[in-house]
């Protein structure tokens, strides 16, 4: 954990209500950190539907392999998460550690190992001593409570400077349901999917296949559209669980993601995912400004997103933002290097509401003072019109500061 | 120009001999900088063969467009280069500026505008006032001398902390020929092709098509294998000229790049290009360490290069190098995010001669002290064996330091 809280941190945190059907507990197992919690256990009172999306890294962590293997079962009873060690690139020892942890959790909960999901975050390549879990999981299972979301978010932090929580509610067929989520960043954040870890739970009664479809659609404009440093983690894990407790209020189980009864739920879920994803960006390592890059007029949406990511990941754009320099020439550079169709003489660029370039050159009405005023804000909107088609995408990132270099150069985070 | 010289700067500069058939002069035209030269004119006594490779940006500068248009003619009589303004994204005004400059140069030299080549480096998006050239080109053409290479290299610098020069000699059919080159960096450096600007001249007599083939082959393992910050310039220009003066010593003109008489010349040219490209990396903005990333055992050479670039461009790898942290987990991350075939359990990683990881986990003999000792050197060799095939590539980069953020955040460079 860094010493000082991000200047972009939320002024207040969401009040996290208890959510029926799930309980949590945390422990300080001394995996790497001292004097803080580093293990989270999440328990479902009854088998919950589960959906998940994971890193596209070709070298995923052992817990990611474990979750991918269990996901087709569609049922979760417990989740165990640790911070301080990613259990990635740990070979056979890593697989042994996930096996031991799942076994201990299954025993503590009284379920099958196939119903246990795992996630680890922290240093890559150091063996994870799973015996550190053995002593605490029984105790965690016994002491878990519903009203523990904020503590849960704190236990999974690494270089995060604040815990990330969000809550929403919706109606399914006239029955009120809730959605709670937690996430952690804060570096090695790039699509797809830029979250490191996030766990979202609803008390709605939704079948696993429908839940998976909802999550896959929801992740695209949210966690898959944020980047801190273009570096994709080996551990990225976003899981969505449905405890089904709302069935007790008469909510009829939804089997199909296209069911119109899910419209309100889908909107609430997407909104919550966006909230958590932006909290991750706003806590990007060393971040002092948030940048919202919108590309429109591209050949298609995928091209627009690639151009937006080229801008959002450009060190020269990000350092210019850090320096409050309205250096739109670097935006041109990033469009040009993206490899996507672009015609210099059709490009237009805005910083906030200030159009700085149009038709391949500086806007005739360009005002350095007006552009600089935009750069001095906390959120920097950059908009580019490619002028070729109707493709559109928005991507979120933060600036690149000396603090990012310090955080990542000065110790093994 | 930055205040202090890169710690990786050469201890001594090459003595640059005069090269028959080419003369140079520089001027201080006040394009952006004060109290320094910012215009270089290069003149060929007789029509020289010309070859060139340029940025792959979709938004190239007006001078790049100009050069591409003239290149098929194969003949050069003059080159005009300015620093301080890239004449990029300057629309019709930019094209008008290149036309005016080419016209003035052609008049000063007494040649066709199609025989004039142009390059500009500096800020993107600001109109370049070409009338600033008008007054100086006549004078430069009149005063140009052969013995002016070092001054030429100085006139094209922007954020470079030292001028980049190199010289080699070779024999073609028993006749001695020379090759001289200059280059500038120092940010917005990424394949392809990471040079910003470089001009190489030989007195050999080689036809344009052969020269172009030599240059295209030579650029791949050199300028196309260096990256400072993954940002590709709109202005990248590497040109190779052959004055043909060696014909006076009896060198028979070479028409075909495959001619075995060119073997020694090719080797000397490739070596000079490598020398200049590495000088660019060693002057990367804020650089304190050079990093040499070698990937072997990949599916093929192209895959090896993509993996090597993924490592070399990773902010987390580059900050770890800056912090002298042997954080090989980040190398695993960068392999994983490259999208290329890789199997965790076959990977092996070395820092210098120290194998830090093997068969998907930390090397059993891993010594933090030994790995850290490698990181404390000035050049950091990182080697990765993917263990799948025989693809191989080496890429050169530098570390990412607070100084990079400062240089690019604190003023419009």
Name beta bridge partners: B164. Answer: B183
Residues 6+ apart with CB under 8 A from B410: A323
Show the CA angle centred on residue B195, arms to residues B143 and B186, nearest 5°: 90
Burial class (CB in 10 A: 0-12, 13-18, 19+), B168: buried
Q: Is residue B168 part of a domain?
A: yes
User: CA dihedral defined by A36, A148, A79, A120, rounded to 10 degrees?
Assistant: -30
Instruction: Summarize pLDDT for B15-73 with one digit per residue, the tens.
Output: 999 999 999 999 999 988 888 999 999 999 999 999 999 988 888 999 999 999 999 99
pLDDT at B203: 97
Put simply, whether A294 touches B (Cβ < 8 Å) is: no
Contact B326, B362 (CB under 8 A): no
pLDDT at B1: 39
The mean pLDDT value for B259-273 works out to 97
Say what the ipTM of the complex is. Answer: 0.84
Phi then psi for residue B107, to 5 deg, are -65, -45
- What is the C-alpha separation between A109 and B215, in angstroms, rounded? 67
- Residue in A387, A379, A378 with CA at minimum distance from that of residue A357: A387
pLDDT at A3: 61
**How close A383 comes to chain B (CA, Å)?**
16
Put simply, whether B92 touches A (Cβ < 8 Å) is: yes
E strands along A203-353, which residues? 237-242, 290-298, 348-351
pLDDT at B189: 63
Note whether B348 and B299 are same-domain residues.
yes
Note whether A297 and A233 are same-domain residues.
no
Interchain proximity B91–A359, CB inside 8 Å: yes
Task: Return the exposure string of B181-196: e unless at least 16 CB atoms fall within 10 Å of the residue's CB, then b.
Answer: bbbbbbbbbbbbbbbb
Lateral strand order in the sheet of B290-298: B361-362, B354-358, B348-351, B379-385, B290-298, B391-398
Mean pLDDT of chain B: 92
pLDDT at B54: 93
- Residue B372 per-residue DSSP state: H
Note whether A262 and A319 are same-domain residues.
no
Note whether A234 and A88 are same-domain residues.
yes
Of B90, B229, B335, the CB nearest to A316: B229
Q: pLDDT means per 10 residues in chain A (413 residues)?
A: 77 95 95 90 98 90 96 97 91 93 96 97 89 90 96 91 96 97 80 69 98 96 88 88 97 97 98 95 92 97 95 93 92 90 89 93 92 95 96 95 86 52
- What is the C-alpha separation between B394 and B225, in angstroms, rounded? 7
Interchain proximity B329–A123, CB inside 8 Å: yes
pLDDT at A189: 62
Note whether B195 and B221 are same-domain residues.
yes
Residue in chain B closest to A188 (alpha carbons) equals B316
pLDDT over 50 (residue B191): no
Instruction: Summarize pLDDT for B105-119 with one digit per residue, the tens.
Output: 999 999 999 999 999
- Residue A357 per-residue DSSP state: E
Instruction: Summarize pLDDT for A137-190 with one digit per residue, the tens.
Output: 999 999 999 999 999 999 999 888 999 999 999 999 999 999 999 999 877 765
Note whether B271 and B162 are same-domain residues.
yes
* CATH number for the domain harbouring residue A201: 3.60.70.12
* CATH number for the domain harbouring residue B294: 3.10.20.340
Q: Is the bond preceding residue B33 a cis peptide, omega within 30 degrees?
A: no
Q: Is residue A58 part of a domain?
A: yes
pLDDT at A59: 86
Write out the residue range of the structural domain in which residue B391 sits.
290-410
Chain B contacts in chain A segment 51-90 (CB below 8 A): 55-60, 86, 88-90
Q: Is residue A11 part of a domain?
A: no
Query: Where does a domain end: A282, A311, A326?
Result: A282
The mean pLDDT value for B131-159 works out to 93
Chain B contacts in chain A segment 122-181 (CB below 8 A): 123-127
Note whether A94 and A172 are same-domain residues.
yes
Put simply, whether A402 touches B (Cβ < 8 Å) is: yes
Note whether A394 and A337 are same-domain residues.
yes
pLDDT at B193: 41
Instruction: Summarize pLDDT for B227-241 with one digit per residue, the tens.
Output: 888 777 888 899 999
Note whether B341 and B222 are same-domain residues.
no
Q: Which of A210-214, B184-188, B193-197 shows the highest mean pLDDT?
A: A210-214
Query: DSSP states of A10-69 as a string?
Result: -SSPPP----TTEEEEEE---SS-SSS--EEEEEEEEEEEEEEEE---SS--HHHHHHHH
The mean pLDDT value for B151-156 works out to 94
Q: Is residue B11 part of a domain?
A: no
Mutate to test the interface with B, among A194, A291, A315 (most CBs of B within 10 A): A315
pLDDT at B195: 52
Query: Where does a domain end: B282, B300, B333?
Result: B282
Give me the number of domains chain A comprises: 2
pLDDT over 70 (residue B387): yes
Put simply, whether A243 touches B (Cβ < 8 Å) is: no
């Amino acid at each position: 954990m860094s010493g000082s809280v991000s200047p972009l941190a939320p002024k207040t945190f969401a009040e996290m209500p208890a959510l029926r059907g799930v309980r949590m507990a945390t422990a300080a197992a001394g995996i790497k950190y001292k004097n803080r919690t580093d293990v989270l256990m999440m328990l479902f009172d009854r088998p919950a539907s589960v959906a998940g999306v994971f890193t596209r890294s070709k070298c995923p962590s052992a817990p990611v392999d474990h979750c991918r293997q269990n996901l087709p079962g569609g049922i979760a009873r417990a989740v165990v998460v640790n911070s301080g060690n990613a259990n990635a690139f740990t070979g056979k020892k890593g697989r042994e550690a996930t096996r031991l942890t799942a076994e201990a959790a299954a025993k503590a909960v009284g379920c099958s190992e196939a119903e246990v999901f795992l996630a680890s975050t922290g240093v890559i390549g150091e063996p994870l001593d799973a015996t550190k879990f053995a002593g605490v999981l029984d105790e965690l299972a016994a002491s878990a409570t519903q009203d523990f979301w904020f503590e849960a978010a704190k236990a999974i932090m690494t270089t995060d400077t604040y815990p990330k929580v969000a809550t929403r509610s919706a109606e399914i067929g006239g029955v009120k349901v809730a959605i709670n989520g937690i996430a952690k960043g804060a570096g090695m954040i790039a699509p797809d999917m830029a979250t490191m870890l996030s766990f979202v739970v609803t008390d709605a009664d939704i079948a696993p296949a429908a839940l998976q479809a909802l999550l896959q659609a929801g992740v695209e404009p949210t966690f898959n559209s944020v980047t801190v440093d273009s570096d994709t983690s080996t551990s990225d894990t976003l899981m969505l669980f449905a405890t089904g407790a709302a069935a007790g209020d008469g909510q009829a189980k939804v089997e199909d993601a296209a069911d119109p009864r899910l419209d309100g739920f889908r909107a609430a879920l997407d909104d919550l995912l966006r909230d958590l994803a932006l909290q991750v960006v706003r806590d990007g390592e060393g971040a002092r400004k948030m940048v919202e890059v919108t590309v429109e007029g591209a050949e298609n949406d995928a091209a627009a997103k690639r151009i937006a990511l080229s801008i959002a990941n450009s060190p020269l754009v990000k350092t210019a933002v850090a320096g409050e320099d309205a250096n739109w020439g670097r935006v041109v550079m990033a469009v040009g290097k993206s490899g996507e169709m672009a015609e210099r003489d059709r490009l237009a660029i805005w910083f906030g509401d200030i159009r700085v370039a149009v038709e391949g050159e500086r806007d005739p009405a360009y005002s350095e003072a007006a552009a600089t005023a935009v750069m001095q804000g906390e959120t920097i909107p950059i908009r580019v019109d490619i002028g070729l088609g109707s493709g559109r995408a928005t991507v979120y990132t933060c600036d690149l500061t000396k603090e990012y270099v310090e955080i990542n150069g000065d110790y093994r985070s």
